[in-house]
Amino acid sequence: MINVEDVISYNFNFLIYIHNAYTNLENEGDKFPYLPLEREGFIDRKSFLEKGKEIWGECLRSDIQEEDIQYWLAEKFDFRVLFSKNDYGERNYRLLRKTFNSWFGEIGYRSLELQGEVWVPYVYEQLAENSKKYDCDIFLEIIFDEGPKEWKIYSDQHYFITIHDHPMNGSHILLDIFKND
């Protein structure tokens, strides 16, 4: 039996949100969100990428598709390790969490739901055609933007889709899997 679900995670998307804010602060991009943050509030880049990858992996290994909102509210994943242990770090963390909740709790979540409405039927149809090969749950983790390449951790059941992806543009890891069948 094939089951395809979209998962719109507060936790994965918050991690991307923090990364984009950090990238903007490093003058490496002009990504959403662009906020007035303090450089002294973040740890160094190498540590940031390493700790971010650890959190990404923790989220992936958890049952996030079932418990995401509870994990978010309970602050299960320690995003604070991405920030300096000083007043600047605490202010950056609080500002990012507050602005993320404001955006994601409203328009952000809904925009990602629309992406899932495109991908879920498409992936289900593709997998149904190959039902002898696929007998599992597939979770399409919908995120608003790409994370850094260092965080590219997948599993056989979890695939990340951004708002920039579309099945008809022919450039996604899932499409490569279907082509190889």
Higher-pLDDT residue of 33 and 2 is 33
Residue 180: is its pLDDT beyond 70? Answer: no
pLDDT at 159: 86
Q: Cα separation of 100 and 136, whole Å?
A: 33
Question: By the 8 A CB rule, do 109 and 8 touch?
Answer: yes
**Most trustworthy range by pLDDT among 84-98, 142-156, 167-181:** 84-98
Higher-pLDDT residue of 42 and 151 is 42
Domain chopping of the chain, boundaries: 3-180
pLDDT digits (tens, 9 = 90+) for 48-66: 999 999 999 999 889 888 8
pLDDT digits (tens, 9 = 90+) for 65-80: 889 999 999 999 999 9
pLDDT at 43: 97
| Percent of the chain at pLDDT exceeding 90 | 60
